[in-house]
Chain A
Amino acid sequence: MPEHDVLIIGAGLAGQRAALAAAQNGVSVAIMSKVHPVRSHSVAAAGGINAAIDVSDDWRSHAYDTVKGSDFLGDQDAIEVMCREAPGEVMHLEHIGVTFHRNERGELDLRAFGGASINRTAYVADITGQAILHVLYEQLLKHSSVVARYEEWFTTSLIIDDDGACVGVVARDIRSGRIETFAAKSVILASGGAGQCFKPTTNALICTADGMAQAYRAGAPLMDMEMIQYHPTTLAENGFLITEGARGEGAHLLNKDGERFMSKSAPNKMELASRDVVSRAEQTEINEGRGVGADGKGIYLDITVVPRKRTLEALREIVNIGKDFAGVDITREPIIIQPGQHYIMGGVKTDIDGQTPITGLYAAGEVACVSVHGGNRLGANSLLDTLIFGRRSGEHAAQRALSTPVPRISDTALRRDAKMIEEIIARPRSGRRVSEIKEELGTTMNSHCAVFRDGPGLQSAYETVRRLKEEAAHAYIDDSGTVFNQDVLGAIELGYMLDTAETIVAAAIERTESRGAQFRTDFPERNDAEWLKHINTTRGANGEPEISYSPVTITQWQPEERKY
């Protein structure tokens, strides 16, 4: 049985940063991922990373923008930590090799981004996440002797001992089908978000809420789960992300009359208001018949106002996406976009060191909820969140390991998970297919749990999710092999997604107000008196989510009306 002081699940930015930080503290570290680390979804983060590094900027300004962006649901102590440590973290990335774009003086160039009061987004063209992810992987290769890598290993469950502490995981080697117990003094979940609960989504096929569901099943609370971000610019054809960097570089949003409609809802920031505001404005235009495209469900994103050379250099990926997937040269004509599911602000509840309420279990990145994003995340704050809280989790877990004995683990969990996999493979072909259930889940969530929500719609979504959970228990698969059996993993992932979707809908039903990404047409106002608090969902005895609340931490910024 492999044993490590710190075991990290997930090898995106949060996981890799945690691994490097833990290794620097002299403990034995391992990082496990169901895909090769450079295939992690962090690779898709395009626009950049926020940090108050400009001499005329201040971390407090960054923090205030983040608090306001969160619609005052973010915990201000955590936001202060993130924004104060941001400049140091970006400089660290620069020193280890990230090829940040420079200005004419050779310093880091900063671009404009949504909800920010000053240019504060450092970037590498529109491949910032990819550039940082690959540089961190370079560092993992450099530190191979102190960080063990389990690439293409799929975690099936967390192991909780009799005292309620997390002491390891069970995982399956995807390449061979072998299942194994891993003992660890601390486990850090860094396994990303839940985008595949929705269809369409900008998220990769791997974003199946694994860590959220694993922690939820182990008894950890999930917080702010109702807060689902719809990104204002996803390609109408297939939901691909068109970076916010486009609007940062000056692109306009136009309705079918050619009007820059953002002047109505955000006269000062226009296209660079926070994402929830822009997505709502777009959806309103579409709902009121001013959309564009064949079905009227799109909005024009006009990038032709950006100098062509600048677009080719700094927005290269979306030039290619426009050409390859929409047949549009974005330097010459507008492209049709629409709001699309992009990010979940909620996740496993943690403190500012990544600790969850379960001893020995940490979480960082999109899987976690510190909460720095509250009701709505600002663009370019997600990369920052992964790195700051990835590092802090790694450091804290390493320190903890120094004073914790190696856990003793039985093979109960291993035998249970092995049996679970055998049971899936042996299912008769009488029920529905895994892919059908997943499809229905995604379209249901996108119909009822999107930019605008209401009580009846959410109720019907909840009932659908409950039914799908029953159907999923008998869903059959085609592949019964052991080597690279993605089919059986898909069935397990479906279970993760359904548990997580259930908590999302339950929390959205619970919050009878409109704040950040949660807009209830039946409760259209923000209601600080009743709802300036987090909703936590834990798994009840009957398997259904149970709701509880926790206070929002306010340090220096009292809630006020939110205008852009």
Chain B
Amino acid sequence: MDGVIVVEPMGNMPVIKDLIVDMDAVHWQKIRSVTPWLINREPVPEREYLVAREAMVDVTQSMACIQCGACVSDCLAMEVDPEFVGPAALAKAYRFVGDPRDDEPFERLRHLAENPDGMYSCTHCFKCVDACPKGVNPMGQIMRLRRIAGDDYKIEDRNNGYRHEQAFVKNIRANGLLHEADLLPDSYGGKFHPRAIPELLASLPVVIRGLLRRKITPAKALLHPHKAPKPLQAIFDQIESEPKRYELNLYVSGDDKDNETAGAVTEGAKR
């Protein structure tokens, strides 16, 4: 409504009084679940740990979190699954996984990947990115946890989170458009993977719902009417041939033009 601002208590947390919610019961309990302190790499040096400049700037993005709980309040995945570790705690987890001084990134990642309410429960809805007043980009941090867990540590979790993500990539690379009939079997390792049969049988209700809602049709499931165009495949080739994974981070951003001062920019514009 025009000129009206609706004020209500934060979501996903029990209300104590008026606008006051119990952050300890939800937000802080989830923060505590990710072992929220540095586990030092040994030996602890006499002076500072020598670490890459970019690495510290990188984790500073999640250090910018003020623990306000806005992302937790707006998280749709947590609304469906109250046990979901959630955006704030996962961003906090990245702060350690991405910190080269931490000694147990693998343990942290394995725990968050194998947890059925862990990093793969995020549904990419962008609500937390929108809600964050500090530019922490919690969803971005969750995606980076996934990439490090899957690509760097090869953690194939029991929740099929990693394979499901790979299935999307494979699907788009081949078809250009999402081909839902392949998505499910690919998420279990492919149609002919021994694991796929029991999993697919268990997923039968999902398949039937898909058929009823015409998300998949028998014809589309068997034939592949759409193939990815060449330029799209070129994008995949380009990204995958990069020696380093491309990570977008607001704290390590900008191009050479940003290195100039505003005065120099104006000068350049005049010329």
- Chain A interface residues (CB < 8 Å from chain B): 36, 38, 43, 53, 91, 94-97, 99-109, 124-125, 127, 130-131, 134-135, 138-139, 141-142, 151, 175, 304-310, 312-313, 316, 320, 331-333, 481, 483-484
- Chain B interface residues (CB < 8 Å from chain A): 16-18, 20, 23-24, 31-32, 36-38, 40, 44-53, 55-57, 59-60, 63-67, 95, 99, 101, 135, 251-254, 258-263, 265
Contacts of A38 in B (CB 8 A): 66-67
Contact, CB under 8 Å: A138 / B36: yes
Give B263's nearest chain A residue, CB to CB.
A304
Contacts of A481 in B (CB 8 A): 17
Contacts of B23 in A (CB 8 A): 36
Give A307's nearest chain B residue, CB to CB.
B259
The 8 Å CB contact of B48, one of A43, A91, A139, A307, is A91
Contacts of B40 in A (CB 8 A): 95-96
Known: A96-B38, A138-B37, A313-B251. A105 touches B50 (CB 8 A): yes
Contact, CB under 8 Å: A127 / B261: no
Contacts of A99 in B (CB 8 A): 56, 59-60, 63, 95, 99
Looking at the assembled complex, report how far the CB atom of A334 sits from the nearest CB atom of chain B, in whole angstroms.
Answer: 10
CA distance A94 to B36 in the complex (A): 16
The 5 closest A-B pairs by CB, nearest first: A97-B38, A106-B50, A309-B258, A304-B262, A138-B37
The 8 Å CB contact of B63, one of A134, A313, A332, A483, is A134
Contact, CB under 8 Å: A94 / B48: yes
Known: A102-B53, A483-B17. A142 touches B258 (CB 8 A): no
Contacts of A96 in B (CB 8 A): 37-38, 40
Contact, CB under 8 Å: A306 / B261: yes
A43-B66, A100-B56, A316-B251 are known; give 12 further A-B pairs, CB within 8 A.
A38-B67, A99-B59, A102-B51, A103-B53, A106-B51, A107-B50, A141-B32, A308-B259, A308-B260, A308-B261, A310-B259, A331-B262
Sampled A-B contacts (9; CB under 8 Å): A36-B23, A38-B66, A95-B44, A99-B63, A102-B52, A108-B48, A308-B258, A331-B262, A484-B17
Give B47's nearest chain A residue, CB to CB.
A91
Contact, CB under 8 Å: A142 / B261: no
CA distance A38 to B66 in the complex (A): 8
Give B51's nearest chain A residue, CB to CB.
A106
CA distance A331 to B57 in the complex (A): 20
CA distance A100 to B51 in the complex (A): 10
Give B58's nearest chain A residue, CB to CB.
A99
Contact, CB under 8 Å: A124 / B48: no
Looking at the assembled complex, report how far the CB atom of A143 sits from the nearest CB atom of chain B, in whole angstroms.
Answer: 9
Contact, CB under 8 Å: B57 / A101: yes
Contacts of A332 in B (CB 8 A): 262
Known: A99-B59, A102-B52, A107-B50. A139 touches B37 (CB 8 A): yes
Give A53's nearest chain B residue, CB to CB.
B47
Contacts of B60 in A (CB 8 A): 99, 101, 124-125, 127, 131
**B16, B48, B55 — which one has the most chain A CB atoms within 10 A of its CB?**
B48
CA distance A429 to B32 in the complex (A): 45
CA distance A100 to B53 in the complex (A): 9
Contacts of B260 in A (CB 8 A): 307-308
Contacts of A316 in B (CB 8 A): 64, 135, 251
Contacts of A483 in B (CB 8 A): 16-17
Looking at the assembled complex, report how far the CB atom of A505 sits from the nearest CB atom of chain B, in whole angstroms.
Answer: 35
**A108, A130, A175, A308 — which one has the most chain B CB atoms within 10 A of its CB?**
A308
Contacts of B47 in A (CB 8 A): 53, 91, 107
Looking at the assembled complex, report how far the CB atom of A355 sits from the nearest CB atom of chain B, in whole angstroms.
Answer: 31
CA distance A139 to B23 in the complex (A): 19
Known: A106-B51, A304-B262, A308-B254. A130 touches B17 (CB 8 A): no
Contacts of B20 in A (CB 8 A): 484
Contact, CB under 8 Å: A95 / B63: no
Contact, CB under 8 Å: B32 / A106: no
Give B253's nearest chain A residue, CB to CB.
A312
Contacts of B31 in A (CB 8 A): 141
CA distance A97 to B95 in the complex (A): 10
Contacts of A107 in B (CB 8 A): 47-48, 50
Give A482's nearest chain B residue, CB to CB.
B17
Looking at the assembled complex, report how far the CB atom of B187 sits from the nearest CB atom of chain A, in whole angstroms.
Answer: 36
CA distance A131 to B59 in the complex (A): 11
The 8 Å CB contact of A95, one of B16, B49, B50, B99, is B49
Looking at the assembled complex, report how far the CB atom of A35 sits from the nearest CB atom of chain B, in whole angstroms.
Answer: 12
CA distance A135 to B38 in the complex (A): 9
CA distance A463 to B72 in the complex (A): 50
Known: A38-B67, A97-B37, A316-B251. A304 touches B261 (CB 8 A): yes
Contact, CB under 8 Å: A307 / B49: no
CA distance A483 to B20 in the complex (A): 10
Contacts of A109 in B (CB 8 A): 53
Contacts of A484 in B (CB 8 A): 16-18, 20
CA distance A403 to B60 in the complex (A): 43
Looking at the assembled complex, report how far the CB atom of B28 sits from the nearest CB atom of chain A, in whole angstroms.
Answer: 8
Known: A134-B63, A316-B251. A106 touches B36 (CB 8 A): no
CA distance A484 to B22 in the complex (A): 12
The 8 Å CB contact of A97, one of B55, B99, B263, is B99
Give B64's nearest chain A residue, CB to CB.
A127
Contact, CB under 8 Å: B56 / A101: yes
Give A107's nearest chain B residue, CB to CB.
B48
Give A485's nearest chain B residue, CB to CB.
B17
Contacts of A304 in B (CB 8 A): 261-263
Give B40's nearest chain A residue, CB to CB.
A95
Looking at the assembled complex, report how far the CB atom of B114 sits from the nearest CB atom of chain A, in whole angstroms.
Answer: 23
Contact, CB under 8 Å: B52 / A106: yes
The 8 Å CB contact of B254, one of A130, A306, A312, is A312
CA distance A96 to B23 in the complex (A): 26
